[in-house]
Structure 1
Amino acid sequence: MIGRLRGILVEKQAPEILIECNGIGYEVTLPMTSFYHLPQLEQETIIYTHFVVREDAQLLYGFANPTERKLFRLLIKVNGVGPKLALAILSNMSAGQFVHCVNLDDVATIVKIPGVGKKTAERLLIEMRDRLKDWGNDIATPMTDTISVDNQAEEAKFVIASSNKDDAITALVSLGYKPAQADKAVKAVYKQDLSSEELIRDALKSMV
């Protein structure tokens, strides 16, 4: 089991990164809530990981902290919820925000996440309620909390602005949104000076 990686951030193309550890490059897929906290390229970072082995692939999922990873591991234990859907959930809200939804039995917010229908949302709330009851108040932050992207402020923008738009749309599609839905959401929040990460963040916020 690969539980943590510490190395240099070589590439990042949401929601995937390449992190080099002792000469080995690991491809890792992150939820956007963790992706926003990444440092600039060529800087050292620590990623908490969950390793998935399938017949046709070996996949690494990464998280900014152990709490996000813990929730991911609980989510994939729910019937009908795989890694891709768990990733989509954690891309739309932080672990604390999800716990807040569970505590409020907030089906309306959960069903806005791509791939989550009403029955799946209801099952999530029922099963996760018991699994999260011992987590305490340290994770249950209000839904009004926002994810900080201040560490991205100094990162260089792409020379071609339309590239940022395309990258944002591609990232949303990889998270489960339909191409037309992703295109519409990104265009609605598009500003030329926004990075692809900022476009993804704003597009996700507009849909949930």
Structure 2
Amino acid sequence: MIGRIHGTLLEKQPPNVLIDVGGIGYEIQMPMTSFYQLPEVDQPVTVFTHFVVREDAQLLFGFADKVERGLFRELIKANGVGPKLGLAILSGMSASQFLQCVQHGDVSGLTRLPGIGKKTAERLVVELKDRLADFGKNQNVALPDLEARMADKGAIISLNDVREEAQSALIALGYKPAQASKMVSGVYNDGMASEAVIREALKAAM
């Protein structure tokens, strides 16, 4: 099991990153709530990871802290929730927001996330409410707060590149191409970096 990676951040293509560790590049998929906290390219970075082995692939998922990784691990234990959907959930909501939805039975809030219909949302509430009741209390660090991660990062690139990168990230998180395009168009303003566009698009979807 690969549980933690520390190295140099080589590439950022949301929701994917490439981290160099002693000459070996690790490709890692991250939820956007963790992605927003990454440093600039060529800077040192540490991520907590979850390693998934399938018949056709070996995948690494990365998180800014152990809390989000722990919640991801609880999510993928739920019936019908795989790593891709778990990534989408933690991209649309912070860990604390998701816990609040589950504890309050907020099915409508959960259905705003890509790939989650009413039945899936109801099942998540039923399966996870008791299991996650003491989740936050049992952690040694505070629950992540999405609003505390709002500082824009990343270099501003051309309009087309920004919009295409943002759309690609949303599609990778489970949104349909037409939906992703509409979401980006609805929030983009001149001068925005792609990470800011993605963040605002996800906020507007909620």
TM-score by length of 2: 0.94
The structure-2 alpha-carbon separation of the partners of 1:40 and 1:61, relative to structure 1 and needing over 3 Å to count, comes to same
2:188 aligned partner, one-letter code: Y
| Residue 171, structure 1, aligned to residue 172, structure 2 | no
The structure-2 alpha-carbon separation of the partners of 1:190 and 1:75, relative to structure 1 and needing over 3 Å to count, comes to same
Runs of 4+ in structure 1 over 3 Å off: 136-142
Report 1:1-208 matches (<5 A): 1-136=1-136, 146-150=147-151, 152=153, 155-158=154-157, 160-208=158-206
> What number of residue pairs does the alignment pair up?
203
Q: Structure 1 unaligned segments of length 5 or more: list them.
A: none
The structure-2 alpha-carbon separation of the partners of 1:173 and 1:147, relative to structure 1 and needing over 3 Å to count, comes to farther
The structure-2 alpha-carbon separation of the partners of 1:25 and 1:140, relative to structure 1 and needing over 3 Å to count, comes to closer
Contact 1:31–1:91 at 8 Å: present in 2 too? yes
Looking at structure 2, the residues matched to 7 and 147 of structure 1 have their Cα atoms a distance apart, in angstroms, of 25
Q: Deviations over 1:38-83 (max 9, x none)?
A: 0000000100000000000000000000000000000000000000
Q: Deviations over 1:111-160 (max 9, x none)?
A: 01111010100010111111111224576688xx52423261xx3211x2
Contact 2:152–2:193 at 8 Å: present in 1 too? no
Q: Structure 2 unaligned segments of length 5 or more: list them.
A: none
2:26 aligned partner, one-letter code: Y
Looking at structure 2, the residues matched to 200 and 140 of structure 1 have their Cα atoms a distance apart, in angstroms, of 22
Looking at structure 2, the residues matched to 133 and 110 of structure 1 have their Cα atoms a distance apart, in angstroms, of 17
% identical aligned pairs? 54
Looking at structure 1, the residues matched to 192 and 23 of structure 2 have their Cα atoms a distance apart, in angstroms, of 33
The structure-2 alpha-carbon separation of the partners of 1:72 and 1:100, relative to structure 1 and needing over 3 Å to count, comes to same
TM-score by length of 1: 0.93
Looking at structure 2, the residues matched to 49 and 203 of structure 1 have their Cα atoms a distance apart, in angstroms, of 26
The structure-2 alpha-carbon separation of the partners of 1:171 and 1:129, relative to structure 1 and needing over 3 Å to count, comes to same
Question: Per the alignment, in what secondary structure is the counterpart of residue 129 of structure 2?
Answer: helix
Q: Deviations over 1:92-119 (max 9, x none)?
A: 0111111111121110110011110101
1:146 aligned partner, one-letter code: E
The structure-2 alpha-carbon separation of the partners of 1:85 and 1:202, relative to structure 1 and needing over 3 Å to count, comes to same
The structure-2 alpha-carbon separation of the partners of 1:151 and 1:7, relative to structure 1 and needing over 3 Å to count, comes to farther
